Structure 1
Amino acid sequence: MSDVTVAEQPVTNSLVTVFGGSGFLGRHVVRALARRGYRVRVAVRRPELAGFLQPMGYVGQIQVIQANLRYPDSVRRAVEGADAVVNLVGILAPSGRQSFKAVQAAGARAVAEAAAAVGARLVHVSAIGASASSASDYAKTKAEGEAAVRAAVPDAIILRPSIVFGPEDDFFNKFAGMARMSPVLPLIGGGQTRFQPVFVGDVAEAVERAVEGLAKPGATYELGGPEVRTFEQLLRTTLHEIGAKRPLVSLPFGVAACVGSIAQKLPGAPITKDQVELLKSDNVVSDAAKAEGRTLEGLGVTPTALESILGSYLWRFRKAGQFTHIPT
């Protein structure tokens, strides 16, 4: 499908600044906003690598500029004149000066304070599992970022997705790639951690609706797909979609943490010690969020089923590509 889209309504005077708009979720958010006619300013560290975003809208509708959350002055410049600000920036593992603290805590604070200064609506994307008491640096700094957002912009909308899937995801693509090279796949902690995979397009639609003012001011939404599945079930689904048979070997959390400590020192590490810590807790929408309508459905978005999307991009890991027969 082409990235070129046509806005559903004429381009408006409303300007939305999107931090992290060139990433996995970001490109879908930019597309969703452009379709609704917003002018979109995409703030990224490497604008020369984000030119692919501009054909998603009319000529001049999407502007890419340089900004780095570690430099508040660049953040303030990026939100000048914006009616709404969206922060999508997050990292799965630290790299150089891009630490969890700098990006997910201090960076979130810089964006929130800049949005408050111009009176812009703020939509902040965090993650299910964000907790100040977590032993995971990822989850802890996500919580610190949320607290900073609430302090600067009390009416901000916070969106917490479960594991996000889609063509460029870092979960199903990673394990499908591992299955091509490894004779086994690891069931970390026995593989019983529960997830609620949510389609990237649905999360992008939730962001757009929050920008549009359709979310409850000051609310924290938890976004999950239509089904809850264990880590083991997700690995088996991945193997089925790529037509591969691999034994699943249980790996205790302690052993996995040791492996992660060593692997995280290597480029493109398959797992880190911090990610092993995250796998000790379920990653699903809470009962409270369901009861209060703080979900995808509460925003008017119907969750997309995993199997309806997964095969559309995992086919490249099959032995004969799209020509491989996968039994239903």
Structure 2
Amino acid sequence: MIASPTSRILVLGASGLIGRFITDDLRRRGLVAVGVARAFSTSQRVAALDIELPIMALDASALAGLMRAHEIDVVVNCLGVLQDGPGSDTQAVHREFVARLLAAIPASGRGVRLIHISIPGTADEDHTAFATTKREAERLIASSGIPYAILRPGFVIAPSAYGGSAMLRALAAFPIDLPAKDAAAPFQPVAVADIATTIAWLAMRPLDDEATRAVSWDLMQPEPVTLGGVIAAFRRSFGTTDWPRLTVPAPLVDLGAIAGDLSSRLGWMPPMRRTAIAELRRGVRGDPAAWIAATGMTPTSLSETLGAQGAAIQDKWFARLFLIKALIIASLVLFWVASGSIALFISFPATTAILTTRGWPEGFAIPFAAITSMMDISVGVLIAFRKTATFGLAAGIFVSLGYMLGCAMLTPDLWLEPLGALVKTAPAIVLMLVALLMMDNR
């Protein structure tokens, strides 16, 4: 399908899983797609029309000006956050921003269609702030009077992986099963390419086309699929179908969600949080009949989607390392904080004795031991927070190399210490290097 080259589309949230694919796909179809995000990764900055803006800080007037400046015909809103936390406000992102966007469209002085990415389900099933604010945004759009299309994708399968899609890949790559009740939850998938095709199709419709002036469609394959079925499909792709597996108890899943919530307070965005588990257990289901009838599309099935992609070695590595990344970060935080705390608060006399017995003056050994211990704790704290983790890992590598070099010069006999404490520093440096190379999220 080749779209009209006169169509100009503004994609809000163009750095996300859906937004990035849509932006690139629309450009391949001949459309002018202006991708806007708060920040793009270095690898995502592929065109001059990828613009970094503080989207959530833009008022209706600024949004209207953005549409006028780029002569926008269609706005695709892909913005969304899973749950409230530092830097994430479901009410602000899902409802308040949409209200400003709805005010901006008529103020732009242009005929603009709004395509809004929402979630499947019904209001009586909404029990999280994520779901209720998404539904509030739908009601605002439906009563606005502007041309709109509300798209409610099922579980999105894309070539890249982020959040929940990454977590399911990880589950498929490990010899573990979800509790039977969770695995039985309905989980109808949709290929991200089908979402992009739908948006391109809508972009070519005349604004006054009554058939598409105000629509709400569920986008997913019509055949029923369970969460366990989706994971099983990934297992076939990864070649892990025949592995023996251990079923994770439901309380352990809940405990993992609580741990995910706690880590989100430190700025991390783990896919396993209480909202994610609640939405997973609610399931993903809908009726795509209206979408199929209107567009004439045949939804790509789960087996076709995964079969078309295959599982390359990078897919397998990512899936296996995804959950291990959290373990690596947590262990490094514990390693640095515990080692510094033990040296400073529990074994400080023994720490200073290592230096004084080798001829260091006590007046120098005591402050040196205290400073290095606090430095270790600081490295652990820096790694614990997402914003400073990269700096903390680099600092940890630098400090470790400094310890090794300093001991080689000042106390070389420590290299022959029976438990090999200094020798074991080298693997710790390698682990920090691995963590440093895994810090990218997109």
1:309 aligns with 2:305: yes
**Structure 1: how far apart are the matches of 2:41 and 2:101?**
22
**Structure 1 range deviating more: 310-319 or 91-100:** 310-319
Post-superposition Cα deviations, 1:122-181, rounded to whole Å, max 9, x if no partner, equal: 11111112637611221111101112222334431111111110111334432333454x
CA contact (8 A) 1:184 1:249 kept: yes
Q: Structure 2 unaligned segments of length 5 or more: list them.
A: 320-442
After superposition, residues 91-240 of structure 1 pair within 5 angstroms as 91-118=81-108, 119-129=111-121, 131=123, 134-170=126-162, 171-180=164-173, 182-187=174-179, 189-213=181-205, 216-240=212-236
Report how far residue 272 of structure 1 moved.
1.1
**Structure 1: how far apart are the matches of 2:145 and 2:11?**
17
**Structure 2: how far apart are the matches of 1:168 and 1:106?**
29
1:69 aligns with 2:56: yes
**Structure 2: how far apart are the matches of 1:10 and 1:208?**
9
Q: Which has the higher strand share?
A: 1
Report how far residue 120 of structure 1 moved.
1.3
1:249 aligns with 2:243: no
Higher relative contact order (CA 8 A, sep 6+): 1
CA contact (8 A) 1:263 1:271 kept: yes
**Structure 2: how far apart are the matches of 1:10 and 1:172?**
32
**Structure 2: how far apart are the matches of 1:48 and 1:247?**
36
1:11 aligns with 2:5: yes
The SS at the match of 1:42 is: strand
Q: 1:90 to 1:9 in 2, by over 3 A?
A: closer
**Structure 2: how far apart are the matches of 1:124 and 1:220?**
9
Report how far residue 278 of structure 1 moved.
1.3
**Structure 2: how far apart are the matches of 1:10 and 1:295?**
22
The SS at the match of 1:307 is: helix
The SS at the match of 1:85 is: strand
**Structure 1 range deviating more: 139-148 or 198-207:** 139-148
Post-superposition Cα deviations, 1:58-100, rounded to whole Å, max 9, x if no partner, equal: xx7x453524134325433322232221111112344522221
CA contact (8 A) 1:51 1:64 kept: no
CA contact (8 A) 1:116 1:152 kept: no
CA contact (8 A) 2:13 2:77 kept: yes
Post-superposition Cα deviations, 1:265-297, rounded to whole Å, max 9, x if no partner, equal: 2234241111222133232223xx62xxx2245
Q: Which residue of 2 aligns with 1:324?
A: none
The SS at the match of 2:10 is: strand
Q: What is the TM-score with the length of structure 2 in the denominator?
A: 0.60
Post-superposition Cα deviations, 1:103-130, rounded to whole Å, max 9, x if no partner, equal: 1121222222212322411111111126
**Structure 2: how far apart are the matches of 1:93 and 1:314?**
31
Number of residue pairs the alignment of both structures matches: 300
CA contact (8 A) 2:172 2:231 kept: no
**Structure 2: how far apart are the matches of 1:262 and 1:188?**
22
Q: What letter is aligned with 1:148?
A: L
Q: 1:299 to 1:53 in 2, by over 3 A?
A: farther
Q: 1:209 to 1:179 in 2, by over 3 A?
A: closer
The SS at the match of 2:15 is: coil
Report how far residue 318 of structure 1 moved.
4.0
The SS at the match of 1:219 is: strand
Q: 1:270 to 1:24 in 2, by over 3 A?
A: closer
After superposition, residues 256-275 of structure 1 pair within 5 angstroms as 256-266=253-263, 267-275=268-276
**Structure 1 range deviating more: 97-106 or 306-315:** 306-315
CA contact (8 A) 1:17 1:85 kept: yes
**Structure 1: how far apart are the matches of 2:228 and 2:41?**
40
Larger Rg computed on CA atoms: 2
**Structure 2: how far apart are the matches of 1:10 and 1:84?**
13
CA contact (8 A) 1:193 1:279 kept: yes
CA contact (8 A) 2:3 2:204 kept: no
Percent identity (aligned): 22
Report how far residue 11 of structure 1 moved.
3.2
**Structure 1: how far apart are the matches of 2:93 and 2:44?**
23
